[in-house]
Structure 1
Amino acid sequence: MTVDAVVFDVGNVLIEWQPERAYDRLIGPEKRQQMFAELDLHDMNNDVDLGAPLKDRVYAFAEDNPAWRDEIRLWHDNWFDLAGPAIDHSWRLLRALRAKDIPVFVLSNFGDDIWDRASEVFDVLKEFDRYYVSGKLGHVKPFNRIYEIVEEDSAIEPDRLLFVDDREDNIAMARARGWQTHLFDGPHGWADRLVSEGLLTQQEAK
């Protein structure tokens, strides 16, 4: 089936996003486990993905939970410990697609204000043809509207979009809309998929 554009998620596809792992380093595994058992930090971050300023949301959550105030603030103050390192092979694949003039889009749950800062650290975030960032749009995956926005803005038929994401719920919604999909479990499998679609050669996908 023809692919007119390849749509990339960011977290755990292009850049590792493992807050628990980062907190294990920052405050130790035992303390991290206790904090994450008591607090839903990922739910806090959902508000950031919907457009809330990162610092404001994190610091407000810290004030609401003073027993963990300093540790919660690390979500903002040490954000680049939570995000990274880059998944280098995935970057190479994106750039190989661009080198062949295959349009590449980003569709990511990502905070508005942190996106620009992250783009200065992770250069690949500047290299997309179209940007669908939840914090800028006010809609998040896996809800239907953000996928509709991609279709409407790009004017590409759903079955000509190939979407890669590491979360099954995000993939399931895209698939339900008729998109071609790939559940990311590592760059080698993603490389094989791009080769099987005829988008890259084996050499280009290394």
Structure 2
Amino acid sequence: MKFTEKAWKIFNQSIQDYHVKDEVNQKINNPYPQDSLEHLLYLKNWIDTVQWHLEDLIRDENIDPVEALRLKRWIDQSNQERTDRVENLDSWFLDNYKDVHILSDATINTESPAWAIDRLSILSLKIYHMKAEVERPDAGLEHKKSCQKKLNVLQQQYLDLSTAIEELLEDYSAGKKYMKVYKQMKMYNDEELNPVLYNKK
């Protein structure tokens, strides 16, 4: 099975598992062994799925301001966890290709493989929720037609993105490309780098 096929299957499993209860406070029940790649992929998408629904909740125009702030803090934490899991994935890729002979004319890619996988995870959520809009019982015909057009584009995007990722991984395996990973170094979460935080000390 290709890497993207495996990831897509796990992402959709995570989404389906979440929507059994469809509740942001529910605990994750990751079915894969702790140190496995599958466990990491499931966890990555679960974080994305919870955050997707947090982003929905915080856009309620009638939301209590205190609750909105609580959700904003939660989303900030989720973004950091998402970034951490992407970096974990890149560490897996680095280890997986560490013994590959790099060709003299090898080039670097615009993004690391894990950030491409991150986009694939988000795309799985877009497709799931757009499909739900197409099938929504109380939606009008025009709404469903509009959403079907968007769904068609998203499904084409899945084909293009998964193909591009597979080609990138093949290039890594052949030494045609090499990985160079940069940490995100998010400054706003760091008490030593965010002036609003360190000026309070």
**Please, what TM-score do these two structures have when normalized by structure 2?**
0.29
Higher helix share: 2
Higher strand share: 1
**Please, what TM-score do these two structures have when normalized by structure 1?**
0.28
